[in-house]
Amino acid sequence: MTTQSDTDPASFWDKLYRGRRASGGRANPLLVETVEALDLGTALDLGCGAGGDTIWLAARGWRVTAVDISGTAVERVVAAADERGVGDRVTGERHDLAHSFPAGTFDLVNAQYFHTPFALDRGAVLRTAAQALRPGGRLLIVDHGSTAPWSWNQDPDAHFPTPDEVADGLDLDPQQWRVLRAAMPQRRATGPGGQTATVTDNVLLVQRHEGTD
């Protein structure tokens, strides 16, 4: 994946989200599929972006910490939560996850399309996310498995890690975590401008064993 060297990461993502309208609360489908059967709890939305997942979770009763490197994204998600009457269940925090991570523990950590054109030890961030799970909690990682026409990353040589590669990179102790799902489903997706395309998602769902801390 192409690495940017002449642009500040926060500025890059601020510019991107200033050019997009805030989400109306439409969640990523694999989050919906995963969460529908779960009891309510606390969630951490890593790279909350336009806020669809955060708003959807909060509207269903979850308490959500929405995190992004973009202050613009975080401010807009918090404002959208207030507008939809779920602001009391949403906390927005700006973090450059290369240097800081939200405090606390969570029943769900949601990492949807957690890709960046900048240098980042993604594996270390996701291991930290796994450590932040409460016993029985789940870490849902959904990655791009293909390039959509509207993606910021149009590098033809981009490599999208498979679920097995992501799991290997996490190197989690099987005595403390187990893989619940590793799959590469396809779906028809709609882009921010209304475009549609068939895309592949690389899905890894990890659960922390009960009784571990």
Using an 8 Å Cβ cutoff, are 42 and 136 in contact? no
The set of residues, in sequence order, having a beta carbon less than 8 Å from that of 22 and lying 6+ positions away, is 50, 51, 76, 77, 79, 80
Residues 110-117 have a mean pLDDT of 87
Residue 5 clears pLDDT 60, i.e. is over it: no
Report the CATH architecture of 9-208: 3-Layer(aba) Sandwich (3.40)
Mean pLDDT of the chain: 89
> In DSSP terms, which residues pair with 161 in a beta bridge?
none
Taking only the tens place, the pLDDT of each residue in 64-73 is: 999 999 999 9
pLDDT of residue 2: 42
Written as six digits, the tokens of 3 are 């690495």
Each domain of the chain, given as residue ranges in start order, spans: 9-208
What string of DSSP letters covers 148-192? -TT-S---TT-----HHHHHHHH---TTTEEEEEEE--EEEEE-T
The set of residues, in sequence order, having a beta carbon less than 8 Å from that of 82 and lying 6+ positions away, is none
Confidence of residue 119 (pLDDT cuts 50, 70, 90): confident
Within 13 A of 9's CA, how many CA atoms are on the CB side? 16
DSSP 8-state code for residue 104: S
Taking only the tens place, the pLDDT of each residue in 141-171 is: 999 887 776 676 666 677 888 999 999 999 9
